[in-house]
Every structure is written in structure tokens, then in C-alpha cells.
Homo-oligomer: A and B are copies of this chain.
Amino acid sequence: MDAIGTEAGADGPRRLEMPRPEPGPGEALVRTLRVGVDGTDHEVIAGAHGGPPAGEDRLVLGHEAVGVVEEPDETGFSRGDIVVPTVRREPPSGRNDYFERGEADMAPPEAVVERGIDGAHGFMSEYFTSPGEFLVELPPALAEWGFLVEPVSISEKALELAYASRSSFDWQPETALVLGNGSLGLLTVAMLVPDYEVYCLGRRDRPDPTIELIERLGATYVDSRETPVSEFADVHGAADLVYEATGYAPHAFDSIDALAPAGVAALLGVPEPWTFEVDGGRLHKELVMGNRALVGSVNSGPRHFRAAIDTIESFPEWFPEALVTTVAPVGEFERAFEQGEGVIKTAVEFATP
């Protein structure tokens, strides 16, 4: 069957011929509809993150998938159900407590593999198999946007951790600052605008489709070249919630300055090592004297996928249409990996329901 992946020596994603997977006991066979592309895919392609399954030199990409159950076996699903797969799976060393608890998203990296990212083939192929516990059912009407469930679930998890960190007192947040106007940042702006006065920070000139999206959602664009994160509070007032999805390491520290007392910053970016100077004394004091918090968050689990489905259903109808700038048929998959002006969110389409 057709698959899109990385291969040792190749300088970009390529079409791979892979055997159609045989579902094991308790696994469903799923026919793939669409698979989204995000920054992690580009990091994997560049060799900066993850890699093929042990002993292989190819990795099927794709961790943002939606598909149709073709053979449900004993998963509890029915043939024709629209499903979205979670990403983390048991490592070669076998099932561990994190999986028993249904919380693989909280496991350390060495206790899991990640499909399409690290140590396990992804979903960017005509078919994939999965145990039922890692599939979440999607209302059929959402099938075309089902590949957005995984990225939204990433923010659901991060916000869950952020809210939990503020749950021991009567937190009354009003203002949110989203760092990064990539697709994850924009999805998070859409999630937050019903409840917050939202600012979204980027470094692009107008006219720009992401700035248009931010403003159409009712949020305010902040150009980091004019207002860096460390000066955000002086210009716009401090944020109760900061959501960082840039991977720009100084943002983890600058966000402390952007936070209101009792505020929390959720960190999601994955920077490379980078040594720089910080006023660690002042930042430490600000964390303490303001009861502020920083929470790191990675991956997501089934309950975050279910929350993401509700969230996507609540989005304005125009929003996914405007966010998803490319849906490339598998024969033109390269288009889904192009980055550049005008590109926001892309996906590869294998089939329609």
C-alpha cells in the first residue's frame, strides 16, 4: 500500500511501498481518510526529533489522522465508524503502568513509542491498525476535520494541566497570551476566545493570513518585533494564562514577566539546547511572590481527544476552512509539506468517507 515517510538518506518525505498491516487480536483495521502535517513532522524529517522503529531505516510519518473502521474485530467499534487514533503506544519493552492507567501521555519518553514520530510507524498510509483503547470515535459530520483532533487534544491536555495547577484557589482568569501563530497557536486562540481576552504573538508583516485569522476570531495580534514577551505586560497588561507553542527557549523565562500574579504559563515548545543569560534571581522571585506557575505539557490521551472533539464542534464553521490551507491528495503529497507564505495547516488526503 501507499505510505508517506522518511527513509535514510532522503532529504524529504517520500512515497514508500509498505505491506498492508494485518490487525492483531483486539486490533481494528482502519482505512485512512486524512492525515495532518505539523511542525513535529518537519522536525522528524529533518532528523531533529524521533526516528524509525528499532532495526528499521524507514518511518511512516503521520500522527494526526482520521479514518474509517474497516475491520473492527473485537474493539467494540463497528465497520464504518469514523475514528481518530492517539499517538503513544507500548514500547518494545512491553506494557507498563502508564498504559494500565490510561495515562501514556504522562509517561517519560523512554516508556513509550510515538506513532509517526519516534519508534513506531505513523498513520500516513492507506491503512493502519490500532487496539481499540487507542481509538476515539468521531461524529461522522466532523470526518473532514478529524485530523485536527490530535493537535487540539495537545492544547486540551496543556490547558488541563494549567487549570489543575490553579485549582486550589478561586482563580478568575481574564486575559490569555498565546505565543506563536502557527497552526497549534491559532487552534488554541480559537479554543480560548470564548472565555478570555486573547492576544496572539507572532513575527509577521501584514497582510498575513494568520493575522487575519487571529483578528477574525476576535483576538489581538502582537508583533513580537515591536512588543517582545518581556514587555507584553507593560503594553497590554499582564496575562493570567500564557500558552507557549514556539519552541523558542527564552519564551519559557520571558513568560514569567508576562504573567499576572497567580497566573500560569503552559509550555509546549521543544527547543534545542541553548545557553543564554537570564536574571534568574528576579524570575525566581517573581514566580514565588506572585504565586505563579510554569507547567510543561507533551502529548495527550483519550480524554483530551474527546474534549477536543467537543471543542472542534464549537468552532465557528468558517474557522477550519480558513485554517486548513492545503488538503493534498496522496498523489500530490509533497504539497502538504510545503511551508511558506500563505500556508497555515495542511493535510494529505488518502480517501473520502
Instruction: Decide yes or no: A294 and B293 within 8 Å by CB, A249-B284, A279-B274, A284-B252 being known contacts.
Output: yes
Binds B, one of A143-151, A260-268, A322-330: A260-268
Are A290's CB and B280's CB within 8 A? no
Contact: B168 with A164, CB < 8 Å? yes
- CB of A287 within 8 Å of the partner chain: yes
The distance from the CB of A118 to the nearest CB of chain B, in whole angstroms, is: 11
Closest beta carbon of chain B to A228's beta carbon, Å: 15
- Set of chain B residues within 8 Å of A109, measured between Cβ atoms: 261, 289-290
Shortest distance between the CB of A35 and any CB in chain B (Å): 23
B268 close to A288 (CB less than 8 A): yes
Q: Is the CB of B293 within 8 A of A296?
A: yes
Q: Would you call A267 and B250 a contact (CB within 8 A)?
A: no
Chain B residues near A93: list those with CB within 8 A: none
Shortest Cβ distance from A350 into chain B, in angstroms? 30
| Cβ contacts under 8 Å, A165 to chain B | 161, 164-165, 293, 295
A173 to B80, CA, bound (A): 43
* CB contact list, A283-323 vs B, under 8 A: 283-298
Cross-interface CB contact of A278 among B101, B169, B269, B275, cutoff 8 Å: B275
Tell me, rounded to whole Å, the shortest Cβ–Cβ distance linking A326 to chain B. 28
Measured between C-beta atoms, what is the minimum distance from A275 to chain B in Å? 5
> What residue in chain B is nearest A100 (Cβ atoms)?
B170
Interfacial chain B residues near A268, Cβ < 8 Å: 288
Q: A277-B276, A293-B293, A295-B165 are in contact. Are A267 and B288 (CB under 8 A)?
A: yes
- How far is it, in angstroms, between the C-alpha of A47 and the C-alpha of B250 when the chains are bound? 32
Shortest beta-carbon distance from A151 to chain B in Å = 15
Instruction: With CB as the reference atom, state the residue of chain B lying closest to A272.
Output: B281
